[in-house]
Amino acid sequence: MPYDEGLAARIRTGLAAEPRVAERRMFGGLAFLVDGHMAVAVTGAGGLMVRVDPQRSEELLGRPRTFRMVMNGRELAGWLRVVGEPGPDDLDGSELASWVAEGVAFVRTLPPK
């Protein structure tokens, strides 16, 4: 399934004021990188893949429709999958902005690549 172009456009708009943002197709979707680190991605399976502080993963899993990211049968530490409702790409504006901010805030703590 192709990724949702509308959701990607909304993320792009939300990141417009951020410096050093790049886009790259990966994992069947579109990733948004900040300083060379993936912060958030629109996935081909629907919804978002968000990079977060691994120390906060448990806390963030308490948010609605948030799951551990699993690839090839393996959970990825510090990565969450967020799906909207009623469809996987239906995230409202404030919810989407909050997840994008989570991803950007964490990767800003990492040294630029």
Q: What is the pLDDT of residues 48-97, one digit of tens each?
A: 999 999 999 999 999 999 999 988 899 999 999 999 877 766 888 899 99
The Cα–Cα gap between 42 and 84 comes to 12
What confidence score (pLDDT) does residue 1 get? 66
pLDDT at 22 over 90: yes
Tell me how many domains the chain contains. 1
Pick from 38, 17, 21, 22: which is nearest to 80 by CA?
Answer: 38
Flag whether 1 is in a domain. Answer: yes
pTM attached to this predicted model: 0.92
The Cα–Cα gap between 82 and 60 comes to 10
- Domain of residue 23 covers 1-39
